[in-house]
Every structure is written in structure tokens, then in C-alpha cells.
Amino acid sequence: MTYQPEAVPVTSMPAPVGAPVVPGVGARLLDGAAVVPRSGTESLTGVTPQDLAAHRVAYGPRPVRLGAAADALVDDLERVSLTGRGGGHFPTAAKWRSILRAGAGGTVVVNGAEGEPGCAKDAVLLQTRPHLVLDGLVSAIEATGAADGVVWLHDGAWATARAVSRALAERAAAGESSSPIRVMLAPDRYLSGEGTSIIRTLEGGPTLPRWVADPARPWSPGHRPVLVNNAETMARVGLVSLVGASGYGATSLLTVVNDTYRVVVEVGTDATFEAVLAQAWRSPDGRAPTAVLLGGYGGSWVPWPRIARMPVDNGVLRGMGLSLGAGLLGPLTHDACGLEESARLLRYLSDQSARQCGPCVFGLAAVADLADQLTEGRLSRSGRSQLDRYVGEVSGRGACRHPDGALRMYTSALEVFREDVHRHRKGRTCDAPRHSLMPLPEAVRA
């Protein structure tokens, strides 16, 4: 099997893998695969943006979600087993119910900040399907009795901000009324998309994660309740509200990292990872990857043979101790070194620490130093045991899960690339090219 999709120009990628693209019958979010640059999301091709008129022709008017219709929507979200697509995969209906218990007058936030530098699915949705996301947001505002809505984006994601602003203007011009919705731009940092960073900002604080005693009530006492849903999650809420639970097709959006571009592809739960790469990845040497980074930079490395024939189904993955996370699929090519790649990502994540919690500030940096030593073939035996000890000491001790994700990624590398660890420990480095396969913001570190 080769992974060259018959020299299809990347600007006209084929339709998504899996179920048919028919709104109303297993309705999906996208009508094709989107091709985006390796870093940034300022230009994308492959998916036709849907304006308000096209959106309403495809799906009909948005049902108002008040009273019994609100309860019905929450029940439908539960029926389709919708989970948070920012990475946590927490059941959306349960999250909504804890907001409902907190009472009306809160704020609903669409989180489109997409901190994962490898992922572009939220930008693709907000740029090409803004009205699905906004239908989800308006439905959520109605259903939870919220006072207003926020679309939370990264500062610098101009194409996305423009698309959302345009979509909001279209709705106003069409006389579609809703509670006020504003676009907010967060500092362009990895942790700006963390739920507690958003809530803290709305309460007048800095855009940094914080510790919460009760995860079901992440807002401060005396402040209004805040519901934060990822952009893909909210697009799915919009879709469920428009087509109903029976018309909804369970799919996932994946961002597949290629050498010079990324492909955002919508995948049914019946598709295998092999089928996804056959469509959305161009192998530089015609060979399958050695491993893939799954979920995000805080996800896990998985040997390719272990996952190739598995379905893209988070339930199945959970049984394997894995998660689709934020939907990153980063193939490792034969000429690359997984350890070197992982050390680079770990350093990036360590640099992106909010610098609030000691274990993250000092522990993550210490592990990143040892990881660099291993890459360079100068990690001593005591350094190797120090690395294991530090991982144990730091995990689970931050206010947010940032250090946990970073360490999960690196420890999965130590496991999956065991043979490379052995080689590097012998004082030999490998002859892998010294470039990063996974995109990193250029200002940070090459």
C-alpha cells in the first residue's frame, strides 16, 4: 500500500472518508477536505465557505431552543454522545446540565483559540461553516438562559476573525436576532485556549489558567456561570439542533500534518487511520509512517502498525489507552527521529508554561533539559533515572493539565522509540534531519 493519493493536486482533495455527504442523512460538518498552510490559518482551500443564505438553504431555519425545546436539545446531545472536541472529550450534555443547575444569566463561549499549533480544524470550521458554529452558540445561549455569547479567538487569527465578524453581520442584516455576541481576541499562546484562562479573563483577570476546586463550577463564587465549548463541539451542537439526533452522523475532524501543508479531514467512525492517511497524507518516500502523534502535542505517540487498522472512534481508542484529543494526526517519517522530535515539542510546551505552578515551571523545564541530553547522546545513567523520577514528581501537580499532557507525550516517545533511546544512550545520535516535522510557531524555537 502506498500513501500517494494518485497525485491529486492538494487544492482539490477528495470528499471525506466514510458515510455519504447528505445533509439530513448522517449530516456532516464539511463537504470536503480542507488544505491549510503548515503554520497559520490565513489561507485555506478545498472547502467552500457557506454564507448565511447557503446555510439556511441546506438546513432550513434554526429551531428556537427555549423551554421544552431546550430540554430536547440537551437530550439529543446526550443521545448522539457528543463530547468536547477541544481535547478532553467530556460529555457535552453533562457540561450543559451543570450550567443549567447554576441558573440563568451566564455567558456561553465558543472556544476557537485552538492552542495546539498542529491543529487547524477549528479555524476551518469558523472560516467555512461559521453559521453552524453560531447556530450552536445561539442555541446554547437560549437553552441555558445565558445573557450573552463570546467567540474566543487567538490574536493574529485574522482570517478566522474576519469570517466570524462577517457571519455575525450577515445574521444581523437578515434580522436574525439573538443575545449579544462578541468576538474576543486572546494572546497568541498555547494556554490562552484553556477553559479557565477564558473564564478568568471574563472575570477581569489575566488570560492564564487557574486552579478550580470544583471542575463542574469553574467560575469564581459571586461571578456569572460560564459555559465554554470548543468550536467543533459547538458546530456539532448546531448540526444536532438543525437535523436532530436521528439525522446526525457521528464523525471526527482530524488535522493531518504533511511536509508543507496540513489537511483537515472529516472522518466517520467506520474509517480506519490507514484510510485517513491514504487520503490526507502524502508520504515523502511512499512508505507508511513509523509512528503517529495522536491527539495533540500533549497527546501520545503510537506505533503505526498498532493503530493503522483501528477505526477513528474515540471509544475504541480509549480502550487502547489513547484519545483523539484535539484531533491531531502527525505521521513520523522513516528519516525522522521520534526522540528528537519529541524533545523539541517538549521544549516548546515547557516554554509555553503559564509560569504559575512550580512543578510546571521547574519540573517541565528540567525534563526538557534531560530530553535534550538524551537527543544529543549525552544522558548519563543517573540522568536517565532522574528523568523518570521527575516525570513522576511533576505529573498531576499543575493547576491545569498542561504539564500532564507534555509529559504524556514525552513518556510515550520513550516507550514507542525504545530502540532509539538505546541508540542515543550509547552516545550515538541518529542521522535524522534536524528539522521539525510538527509545526511550531516560528517565534518560539526552531
Partner 1 sequence: MSRHSSAREAREPVDPRGMHLRLDPSVCDGVGICSHLAPDLVAVDTWGYPIIATVPLTEKADRRQAEAAVTGCPRKALSIS
Helix/strand/coil for 291: strand
CA distance 361 to 367: 11
Degrees, nearest 5: CA angle 263-264-270: 110
**392 binding partner 1? (CB under 8 A):** yes
CA distance 23 to 10: 25
Using the rule CB under 8 A, which residue among 96, 248, 297, 390 binds partner 1? 390
Q: Which residues contact residue 102 at a Cβ distance below 8 angstroms, ignoring those fewer than 6 apart? A: 217, 225
**395 binding partner 1? (CB under 8 A):** yes
In the chain, how long is the greatest CA-to-CA distance?
Answer: 69
CB of 296 vs partner 1, minimal distance in Å: 22
In contact, 390 and 371? CB cutoff 8 Å = no
**136 binding partner 1? (CB under 8 A):** no
**435 binding partner 1? (CB under 8 A):** no
Strands of 72-130, DSSP E: 107-111
**397 binding partner 1? (CB under 8 A):** yes
CB of 356 vs partner 1, minimal distance in Å: 4
**203 binding partner 1? (CB under 8 A):** no
- With respect to partner 1, which residue has the nearer C-beta, 310 or 365? 365
In contact, 412 and 322? CB cutoff 8 Å = no
- 3-state SS of 225-250? CEEEEEHHHHHHHHHHHHHCHHHECC
Size of the site for partner 1 (CB under 8 A): 24
Q: Which residues contact residue 82 at a Cβ distance below 8 angstroms, ignoring those fewer than 6 apart? A: 91, 92, 93, 233, 236, 237, 240
**363 binding partner 1? (CB under 8 A):** yes
CB of 431 vs partner 1, minimal distance in Å: 34
Candidates 65-73, 119-127, 150-158, 394-402; binding stretch for partner 1 (CB under 8 A): 394-402
CB of 190 vs partner 1, minimal distance in Å: 16
Place of cell 437560549: 142
In contact, 181 and 169? CB cutoff 8 Å = no
What mask, x for binding partner 1 by CB under 8 A, covers residues 209 to 228? xxx-x---------------
> Which residue, among 321, 278, 371, has the nearest Cα to 13 in the 3D structure?
278
Candidates 47-55, 167-175, 259-267, 360-368; binding stretch for partner 1 (CB under 8 A): 360-368
**367 binding partner 1? (CB under 8 A):** no
- With respect to partner 1, which residue has the nearer C-beta, 103 or 396? 396
**359 binding partner 1? (CB under 8 A):** yes
CB of 402 vs partner 1, minimal distance in Å: 11
Question: In terms of residues, how long is the chain?
Answer: 446
**358 binding partner 1? (CB under 8 A):** yes
Give the three cell numbers for residue 332: 513520523
Q: Which residues contact residue 279 at a Cβ distance below 8 angstroms, ignoring those fewer than 6 apart? A: 5, 13, 14, 17, 33, 265
- With respect to partner 1, which residue has the nearer C-beta, 94 or 212? 212
CB of 189 vs partner 1, minimal distance in Å: 16
**98 binding partner 1? (CB under 8 A):** no
CB of 393 vs partner 1, minimal distance in Å: 5
CB of 400 vs partner 1, minimal distance in Å: 8
* Chain positions contacting partner 1, by CB under 8 A: 208-211, 213, 354, 356-360, 362-363, 366, 389-390, 392-399
